[in-house]
Amino acid sequence: MLSKRIIACLDVRDGKVVKGVNFEGLREAGDPAELARRYNVEGIDEIVILDVTATVEARQARAHTIAAVAHEIFLPLTVGGGIHSEADAEAAIEAGADKVSLNTAALRTPELITRLAKRYGSQAVIVAIDAKRGAPPAPHQAAPYNVFARSGQSATTRDAIEWAREATERGAGEILLTSIDRDGTKAGFDCEMTAAVSDAVNIPVIASGGAGTFEHFAEVFREGRADAALAASIFHFNEKSVSDLKQYLSTLSIPVRI
């Protein structure tokens, strides 16, 4: 049976892992390669590196970080943040990434999804969607899931469900769905939003934002119908171990790789 994946996210700035709350107030959490090594030993299924302040000048530094992490693990490695062009994707993949995650660039230039999917295969293209709940347009109507660009800085006119569908049609292989409302809060994943997106597309959905307890993971796999769950804070600061989490999920008969 296909396992539910547990993914550790390394938010990297200037070569160091950082973590904030609601996309703000970053604090340092260590060296990317060291953390990757630890997670690998603990049984993480996948690692994502997000370069949270990537700039053109940072491209070389990013390649260095990717290579250092790739050196530590024989697991799927995704790189996101600052992937704005085919050249950026190529540099990340050459440095050792298996997949790239597109966010702002995909919103700006949706054709980039298709171009990269044609070149590297859909399995190498993740579309990351950062969404925040908006006010319902009218009483008794569902609240929209507003999509934001530029690390949560810029509002767009997109809705997460509609955008996930379009990204899938354009060739995305997975959706990485982050709840801005829950990011870093440890209040639990937004299961309702995750389920809505997961039901709308036929590709895997990775839930992100809000992991605080083991129960939150069980909820997002069951109620959120997520195929994978991504977390940062609860692993980085040694609050919870990946292996304990997997043991817990396994006792609930949620399929995981142990």
Partner 1 sequence: MIALVDYGAGNLTSVRKALAAIGASVWTPVAPVELGRADGMIVPGVGHFDATRGLTKEWRTAIKAAVAGGTPLLGICVGLQWLFEGSVEAPDVQGFGMFKGSCSLFTFPVNDRQKVPHVGWNSLSMPRASKLMAGIAPGTQVYFTHSYAAPVIDDTAAICEYGVPFSAAVERDNVAAMQFHPEKSGPAGLQMLSNWLSGTDVK
Q: How many residues bind partner 1 (CB under 8 A)?
A: 32
- Work out whether 218 is an interface residue with partner 1 (CB under 8 A): no
Active-site residue, 130 included: yes
Contact with partner 1 (CB under 8 A) among 12, 33, 58, 70:
70
Contact with partner 1 (CB under 8 A) among 16, 30, 40, 159:
40
* Nearest-approach distance from CB 42 to partner 1, in angstroms: 12
Q: What is the 3-state secondary structure (H, E, C) of the chain?
A: CCCCEEEEEEEEECCEEEEEECCEEEEEEECHHHHHHHHHHHCCCEEEEEECCCCHHHHHHHHHHHHHHHHHCCCCEEEECCCCCHHHHHHHHHCCCCEEEECHHHHHCCHHHHHHHHHHCHHHEEEEEEEEECCCCCCCCCCCEEEEECCCCEEEEEEHHHHHHHHHHCCCCEEEEEECCCCCCCCCCCHHHHHHHHHHCCCCEEEECCCCCHHHHHHHHHCCCCCEEEECHHHHCCCCCHHHHHHHHHHCCCCCCC
Contact with partner 1 (CB under 8 A) among 114, 186, 204, 243:
204
* Nearest-approach distance from CB 223 to partner 1, in angstroms: 14
Rg, C-alpha atoms of the chain:
17
Kindly report the backbone phi and psi dihedral angles of residue 5, in degrees, each rounded to the nearest multiple of 5, phi listed first: -90, 140
The interface region with partner 1, picked from 8-16, 29-37, 52-60, 71-79 by CB under 8 A, is: 71-79
Nearer to partner 1, 120 or 163 (CB): 120
Active-site residue, 244 included: no
Contact with partner 1 (CB under 8 A) among 32, 110, 173, 188:
173
Both tokens of 223, joined, read 């109620």
- Work out whether 22 is an interface residue with partner 1 (CB under 8 A): no
- Work out whether 228 is an interface residue with partner 1 (CB under 8 A): yes
- Work out whether 98 is an interface residue with partner 1 (CB under 8 A): yes
- Work out whether 202 is an interface residue with partner 1 (CB under 8 A): yes
- Work out whether 243 is an interface residue with partner 1 (CB under 8 A): no
* Nearest-approach distance from CB 11 to partner 1, in angstroms: 22
* Nearest-approach distance from CB 200 to partner 1, in angstroms: 12
Kindly report the backbone phi and psi dihedral angles of residue 222, in degrees, each rounded to the nearest multiple of 5, phi listed first: -85, -65
- Work out whether 225 is an interface residue with partner 1 (CB under 8 A): yes
Could you say which of 11, 45, 51, 227 is catalytic? Answer: 11
Q: Which of 178, 168, 172, 234 is nearest to 207 (CA)?
A: 178
Footprint on this chain of partner 1 (rule: CB under 8 A): 1-5, 40, 45, 70-71, 74-76, 93-96, 98, 120-124, 173-174, 201-204, 225, 227-228, 257
